Amino acid sequence: MRIADLATPAALVELPALRANIAAMAARAAALGCRLRPHVKTHKCSDIARLQVAAGATGVTVSTLAEARAMAGAGIEDMVYAVPVSPARAAEAAGLRGSGVKIQLLVDSRDAAYAVSRAAREAGLLMPTWLKVDCGAGRAGVDPEGREALELARLIAGLPGLHFAGILTHAGQAYRCTTREAVVEAARRERDVTVALAQRLRKAGLPAAVSIGSTPTLQAVDHLDGVDEVRPGNYVYFDATQVALGSCTWRECAFTVLATVIGRYPQRRRLLLDAGALALSRDEGPRHIHPECGFGVLLDLVSGAPLPGLRIVSLTQEHATVEVAEAAPDVPFTLGDRVRVVPNHSCLAAACFDRVHAVEGDQVVAIWPTARGW
């Protein structure tokens, strides 16, 4: 099958770029002296996870139990469920571990710890459980410099059915940075606050592993002394936001959405594509860096380079409106022409599709299913 034979919108994964990205991060983690446990929420695809494990990943990170089941079904059973577990789903997670899946859980509250303990005891299990800490993102986790971190770690270590695995964080604030220097600072804080907390816990008699990592911070950090494990996810695909942050180049963006021009309006200097919010997501992208970034970047089908003078200015459910700059000599394309779009956030865009098409040149070499749902 050729790319030209695909119905649009379609999710494309450039196989040479994907393989290069996987190899580069495996080498980066090894150079930093850390285990690599990539986050599969970016691709939700067991075929890609297998490539990551083959390249040296020691396990995977999941964000949904649906991802966990998909990975386990592919024979990848060593995983961390890196979302603070809902008490209502603790028993379901324990059931996975009881079936032989080496799933580890994450909590950041006493109530969640009690719920996991109860589920583990009822299933007759010992559940490895991480403490989520906040290194500056402000989304979830306890203050690593406060009393609660030590108290909650002690609670986890003392509850029946639980094994205190260590501390885990994610520097989501790196995505709000506007300079490379700011990303480096976020990376250092992600490392330093967790390593310092681990040292406090060890002095209190609580051995604690340290698990950190985001794609931009791992691309920027100078060293990871004291860190045991890293969990980047976006690096397999990259996206327009990662380019803006300096994490990658356009050539390294492995995931694109193939779209068709279904409307051409020269008098309005507009084009219409058949890939809307349900294919690209509505992530606004790096507007804090490039205010006029639009909802993704259009690439030339042949060269793979960004097309100048074109900006996706709005999205509806099934449509993308492309504005043609006044400086452009003419409104390009004809009805039926195709373009590839690098989304602002590849994780969200990829989650819109139930399959991805692995491509080399103009050929589709494989079709890989993805895990849907929660």
**How high is the pLDDT of residue 304?**
84
* 16-236 and 250-369, same CATH topology: no
Model confidence at 239, in pLDDT bands (50, 70, 90)? very high
Task: Please determine, for residue 328, whether its predicted confidence score (pLDDT) is greater than 80.
Answer: no
pTM score:
0.96
Q: For residue 307, give the nearest of 339, 268, 343 by alpha carbon.
A: 339
Q: Do the Cβ atoms of 299 and 340 come closer than 8 Å?
A: yes
The CATH code of domain 16-236 reads 3.20.20.10
Distance, in Å, from the CA atom of 176 to the CA atom of 184, rounded to the nearest integer, reads 12
**How high is the pLDDT of residue 98?**
96
Model confidence at 329, in pLDDT bands (50, 70, 90)? confident
**How high is the pLDDT of residue 302?**
80
Distance, in Å, from the CA atom of 118 to the CA atom of 327, rounded to the nearest integer, reads 65
Domain ranges of the chain: 16-236, 250-369
Mean pLDDT of all residues in 33-38: 98
Task: Please determine, for residue 181, whether its predicted confidence score (pLDDT) is greater than 90.
Answer: yes
Q: For residue 241, give the nearest of 178, 301, 300, 191 by alpha carbon.
A: 178
**How high is the pLDDT of residue 363?**
97
**How high is the pLDDT of residue 300?**
87
Angle at 312 between CA 304 and CA 300, to 5 degrees: 15
Strands 255-265 and 270-273: antiparallel
Distance, in Å, from the CA atom of 129 to the CA atom of 82, rounded to the nearest integer, reads 10
Q: What is the pLDDT of residues 277-325, one digit of tens each?
A: 999 999 999 999 999 999 999 998 888 889 999 999 999 999 999 999 9
- Spatial neighbors of 146 by CB under 8 A, at least 6 apart, are none
Distance, in Å, from the CA atom of 350 to the CA atom of 93, rounded to the nearest integer, reads 25
Question: May I ask the CATH architecture of the domain 250-369?
Answer: Beta Barrel (2.40)
Structure tokens at 163: 């094994």
Task: Please determine, for residue 54, whether its predicted confidence score (pLDDT) is greater than 80.
Answer: yes
Distance, in Å, from the CA atom of 252 to the CA atom of 247, rounded to the nearest integer, reads 10
Which H or E element spans position 349?
A: helix 346-350
**How high is the pLDDT of residue 157?**
98
Helix axes 180-203, 147-158, angle to 10 degrees: 50
Distance, in Å, from the CA atom of 325 to the CA atom of 177, rounded to the nearest integer, reads 28
| Residue 352 main-chain phi, psi, to 5 deg | -80, -10
Distance, in Å, from the CA atom of 363 to the CA atom of 4, rounded to the nearest integer, reads 9
Secondary-structure breakdown of the chain: helix, strand, coil percentages, each rounded to the nearest 5: 35, 25, 40
Mean pLDDT of all residues in 221-242: 98
